A and B are shown apart, each in its own frame.
Chain A
Amino acid sequence: MKRPVKRPVKRPPAGPLEYLRRWPLRLWLLAVFAFLYIPLFTLVAFSFNDSKRNIVWRGFTLDWYGKALTDESLLTAFGNSLTIALLSTIVSVVLGALAAIALWRFRFPGRTLFEGAMALPIVVPEICMGVAMLVFFARVLPWPQNLVWPFNLGAIVISHISFSFPFVAVVVRARLASFNREEEEAARDLGASDWQALRDVLIPHLKPSLIAGALLAFTLSLDDFVITFFTSGPDTITFPVKVYSMVRFSVTPEVNAASTLLLLLTVVLTVVALRFQKPAEIAH
């Protein structure tokens, strides 16, 4: 009786698009991840370091988190940041969505110019925006000092709106491209007013982009440093500005702990934003 010949199991050769099965690309991918994540990993790791200095690993502790979470001024700054982010997000979403709808729906003279001008804050260097805001609030709209919280945050909220609403507009505009206008006409035909058609048909279609845009605006505002630095006063310290001032004295693991918490929040929001954007992309 013949024994069946055993052939070595061979993997099929890599297909034309299976880049990741070729070793140079795998190496490249590894390098990308290393550059992206080693610094962050270091930040997170040293937030657990049982040492006043950030240089040598001494042992594991959660003390710095405790310290960060009981630091009055850090918490105030964090509260400020969340409030600013929330307010500027709400306004940015409304403003951005309306701008996107107007640009999509209507033809008017200067439309292209308007569209270009609106996208400008996305490309203008942040430092320029920061200086511009500083001058604006010094000369054009001097924001009154010593207002009650949260009104003292007004200047920062306004400047955050001005750089985050174009992002919302861009995201919403992209989503609008996939809208079938016959759906809106169908709603009108079935008896809906313009406003009802907008509310019942267009807004539901835009929902994923509104949520994604909101989360984008929120995270942008939450960790903005440059523009905020130019518009904040002594009573209106935000979290990133506070972290910066802490670092100026010494880089203690408390800063690491605080940054890690912010990082965590940003990551969670980004993941949520992506989750909302995905189905939209698949559907079209």
Chain B
Amino acid sequence: MSHIITVENVSKRFGQVAAVDDVSLAIEEGEFFALLGPSGCGKTTLLRMLAGFETPTEGRITLDGKDMAGVPPNRRPVNMVFQSYAVFPHMTVADNIGYGLKVDGLGRAERDARISEALDLVRLTGLGERKPDQLSGGQRQRVALARALAKRPRVLLLDEPLSALDAKLREQMRFELASLQHQVGITFVMVTHDQDEALAMATRCAVMERGRLVQLATPSDLYEFPNSRFVADFIGSVNMIEGRLTTDKPDEAIITTSELGDVFIDHAVLGHTGGTLWLALRPEKIELRVRDAGSPAPKMEDSPQGYNSIAGTIDHIAYLGSESVFEIVLEHLPDKKLRVIRPNLTRWDQEDFAEGQPVWMSWHACAPAVLAG
């Protein structure tokens, strides 16, 4: 696979503020690439630099190996789906889709063929003569998609494509966008602040924070192997626990924490013993067991007795149907809570794990991600 887009040490400053700060990344041909981050992290500015609406203050962007410096948006082989869709309200759907082809000087017949092809692609067949105000929000988005795809761009840029849709439609469009990308084989670059969206659709995600690229990885690597507290916290929910490394051997390490006691890890951390570390423990990686009076702490098969289990009491439950989210107060630290997610495996799970129920929480030695910063 070859790199279709490279971003080399790109910065964009607006006055004193660096919206994008020394970002380097390469996007491969055929990828569904997501730029992910909280609002104001610079992801949209980066996307607009790819489209040509902003010029980098420093650095270089190449597309298909060609330097894009000084190339205006209308001369770039990329097309964009705007957040507001920006469908032209005075044109019919067909005219909207055909607009890019018309300014390119394509003939009537060729244009009509491509318009109907694009309409079929986004499943708007037969709606070509409608005006945008006769369409629903979801349909308008499809028009914007079709309009961009009709130009057969090398790269399709999507700015928060699902943010204006309602929850149900959003979920449906996730699958549709991903399958559309498979179908057309065009590289997609999407900007989103919604981590679910990025995880569900993207092949790779770049997480940005305050203008900087903090991690670039596949969705599962981002979730399971975050490289910083920011990423661990931003992607999904997490119990972040501070601790000190007290043992560090080739295949075991022990991190001492006030919340979880001594946590046993089944791999070397290779840090400086004694330094401050953080454990990122995902809520669904904690197992819950009912704790009867006097029952001993359960032993996890991959950890020595007495490690990786802690007593608590269910304080609050958010019942979500498929799963429940528990907030559990620690027995020895009543002002500290852990978050636990548990699938509702049977139809009477809620009876065993009710509010006020004393429980054991345990986790595997490989469950927590150890973070240095």
Contact = CB atoms under 8 A, between A and B. Distances in A.
Interface of A: 180, 182-183, 185-193, 196, 200-201, 204-205, 207
Contacts of A196: 103
Given A182-B83, A185-B53, A185-B82, A191 B88 contact: no
A48 B350 CA distance: 91
B80 to A, nearest CB: 5
B151 interface: yes
Contact of B151 (A180, A191, A204): A191
B98 to A, nearest CB: 10
Most chain B CB atoms below 10 A, which of A190, A192, A200: A190
A81 B84 CA distance: 47
Nearest to B73: A188
B74 A191 contact: yes
B80 A186 contact: yes
Contact of B99 (A182, A190, A205): A190
A191 B74 CA distance: 4
Nearest to A207: B90
Interface string B51-74: 111000000000000000000111
B301 to A, nearest CB: 56
B111 interface: no
Contacts of A182: 82-84, 86
A183 B147 CA distance: 12
Contacts of A185: 53, 73, 80, 82, 86
Given A190-B99, A190-B100, A191-B103, A183 B88 contact: yes
Nearest to B53: A185
6 tightest A-B CB contacts, nearest first: A190-B100, A182-B86, A186-B86, A182-B82, A204-B90, A188-B73
Contacts of B148: 189-190
Contacts of B166: none
Contacts of B83: 182
19 contacts: A182-B83, A182-B86, A185-B53, A185-B82, A186-B80, A186-B144, A186-B147, A188-B72, A188-B73, A188-B74, A189-B78, A189-B80, A189-B148, A191-B151, A192-B103, A193-B103, A201-B88, A204-B90, A205-B90
A223 B34 CA distance: 62
B95 to A, nearest CB: 10
A110 B144 CA distance: 38
Contacts of A189: 51-52, 73-74, 78-80, 148
Contacts of B80: 185-186, 189
Contacts, number: 64
B251 interface: no
Nearest to A181: B86
Contacts of A190: 74, 79, 99-100, 103, 147-148, 151
Given A183-B87, A189-B52, A190-B99, 4 more contacts: A187-B88, A189-B78, A190-B151, A204-B88
Nearest to B80: A189
Nearest to B90: A204
A58 B138 CA distance: 70
B79 A180 contact: no
A183 to B, nearest CB: 5
Most chain A CB atoms below 10 A, which of B51, B78, B103, B104: B103
A207 B89 CA distance: 13
Nearest to A193: B74
A206 to B, nearest CB: 11
A191 B84 contact: no
A180 B164 CA distance: 16
A105 to B, nearest CB: 14
A208 to B, nearest CB: 11
Contacts of B90: 204-205, 207
Interface in B262-300: none
A223 B242 CA distance: 81
Contacts of B72: 188
B82 A187 contact: no
Contacts of A183: 86-89
A234 B90 CA distance: 49
A182 B78 CA distance: 16
A183 B87 CA distance: 7
A200 B99 contact: yes
B140 to A, nearest CB: 12
A191 B104 contact: yes
A89 B368 CA distance: 74
Nearest to A183: B86
A180 B82 CA distance: 11
A189 B73 CA distance: 5
Contacts of B79: 189-190
A204 B89 CA distance: 9
B234 to A, nearest CB: 27
Most chain A CB atoms below 10 A, which of B73, B79, B104, B151: B73
Contacts of A205: 89-90
Given A189-B79, A196-B103, A180 B74 contact: no
Most chain B CB atoms below 10 A, which of A183, A193, A196, A207: A183
Most chain B CB atoms below 10 A, which of A187, A188, A189, A196: A189
Interface string B143-159: 01001100100000000
A191 B104 CA distance: 7
B324 to A, nearest CB: 42
A200 B100 CA distance: 11
A187 B52 CA distance: 13
Contact of B84 (A180, A192, A207): A180
A1 B80 CA distance: 77
